[in-house]
Amino acid sequence: MPTPRVLSGIQPTADSFHLGNYLGAVRQWVALQETHDAFYCVVDLHAITMGHDPAVLRRRSRVAAAQLLGAGLDPKRCTIFVQSHVPEHAELFWVLSCLTGFGEASRMTQFKDKSAKAGAETASVGLFNYPILQAADILLYQTDQVPVGEDQRQHLELTRDLAQRFNHRFGETFVIPGPYIVKDVAKIADLQDPAIKMSKSASSPQGIVDVLEDPASIRRKITRAVTDMGTEIRADEEAKPGVTNLLRIYAALAGVSVADLERRYAGTGYGAFKKDLADLVVDALAPIRERTEEALADEAELDRVLAEGAARARDVAGRTMRLVRERVGFLPAR
């Protein structure tokens, strides 16, 4: 059995990842590099779907790559690359877009949310196409599993449908990928509004903890996180969504179960619990921040890592794309 392959991507659309990105996705990526043939991609093509500034995109693409190294990805154990360095992504996107129904793409909830925000008339066609480009990212690498947060489930369903459709029409070409979603951390909530997910676009600054944020500010936000009626530290999605979210963050970072924490904090108030959680988050993020800063300090080395990653990625993507061109019926270029 060959080593199973994973691929995932993250957008360089902020100056820092947030705790939801880290717990829901990047932490799994770090673990999976030990057991899987892993490809991780800074998806800059996706990052221009909502409008952007070129200098900011350049900076954020390096910051995103540096944070992946800071979080513990090791370029010797996995392939880290920038999406636009591998032109096959845009090429496969086109082929897949011709297999995607207009109605099918219109039903993507992330598109509906984001286009509603941008205004239906001004939202770009790129935003509409976003999930099809994501499908291309995944299928190019013959990916077995895709580690992401819960919000990406629908895009993965579309990816599977497109892979099956292509295989059915043109012959077996793509591996059908599955989601790799870790239930308890798949949807980290906003600290101020536990009804919504922590998100760079929807959360207020108080509701979001950044990976690169300074410790004093992290402590303040956790201390002020919305808790619920009563004083009991107990997981209850319906009655106590705020405390439940904090318990999940705690459990994930400490490597213990929520039930253990309920026992440990039985009879104590929110204050002590939040203080311990703040210590835990600060201690978990500090080394990531330090290593990210180190990676950013040597831009030449960072760019070298990305160039090496792109070469490895192109090797795999190029092989898939040659097969796709032949299956679709494009004439060989001589």
C-alpha span between 69 and 160 (Å, rounded):
30
Query: At its nearest, how many Å lie between ligand AMP and the CB of residue 8?
Result: 6
Partner whose footprint covers residue 134, from ligand TRP, ligand AMP, none (CB < 5 to 8 Å by kind): ligand TRP
Which residue number, 21 or 79, has a Cβ lying nearer to ligand AMP?
A: 21
Query: At its nearest, how many Å lie between ligand AMP and the CB of residue 23?
Result: 6
Contact residues for ligand TRP, defined by CB under 6 A: 7-11, 43, 46, 134, 137-138, 146, 148, 152, 155
3-state helix, strand, coil in the chain (%, to 5): 60, 10, 35
**Tokens encoding 264:** 């440990």
**Tokens encoding 239:** 């009655």
Site track 11-40 with ligand AMP (rule: CB under 6 A), x = hit: x--------xx--xx---------------
Exactly one of 6, 10, 73, 139 binds ligand AMP (CB under 6 A); that residue is: 10
Active-site residue 183, yes or no?
Answer: no
DSSP 8-state assignment for residue 8: E
| Contact present, 286 and 246 (Cβ < 8 Å) | no
Residues 169-208 close enough to bind ligand AMP by CB under 6 A: 186-188, 197-199
Active-site residue 114, yes or no?
Answer: yes
98 Cβ neighbours under 8 A, 6+ residues apart: none
Which residue number, 43 or 285, has a Cβ lying nearer to ligand TRP?
A: 43
45 Cβ neighbours under 8 A, 6+ residues apart: 83, 84, 89, 90, 133
Partner whose footprint covers residue 137, from ligand TRP, ligand AMP, none (CB < 5 to 8 Å by kind): ligand TRP
- Number of CB atoms found within 10 A of residue 319's CB: 14
243 residue type, one letter: V
Tokens 């086109």 belong to residue: 94
Which residue number, 23 or 163, has a Cβ lying nearer to ligand AMP?
A: 23
Query: At its nearest, how many Å lie between ligand TRP and the CB of residue 49?
Result: 10
Which residue number, 10 or 162, has a Cβ lying nearer to ligand AMP?
A: 10
Residues facing residue 179 across a β-bridge: 146
CA 131 vs. chain centroid, Å, equals: 14
Catalytic-labelled residue, pool 187, 197, 221, 274: 197
Nearest CA among 44, 31, 130 for reference residue 85: 44
C-alpha span between 24 and 69 (Å, rounded):
17
Which residue number, 19 or 96, has a Cβ lying nearer to ligand AMP?
A: 19
Partner whose footprint covers residue 295, from ligand TRP, ligand AMP, none (CB < 5 to 8 Å by kind): none
DSSP 8-state assignment for residue 17: -
Active-site residue 200, yes or no?
Answer: yes
Q: Which residue is nearest to ligand AMP (CB)?
A: 24
Q: Report the catalytic residues.
A: 114, 197, 200
Which residues are at the interface with ligand AMP (CB under 6 A)?
10-11, 20-21, 24-25, 148-149, 151-152, 186-188, 197-199
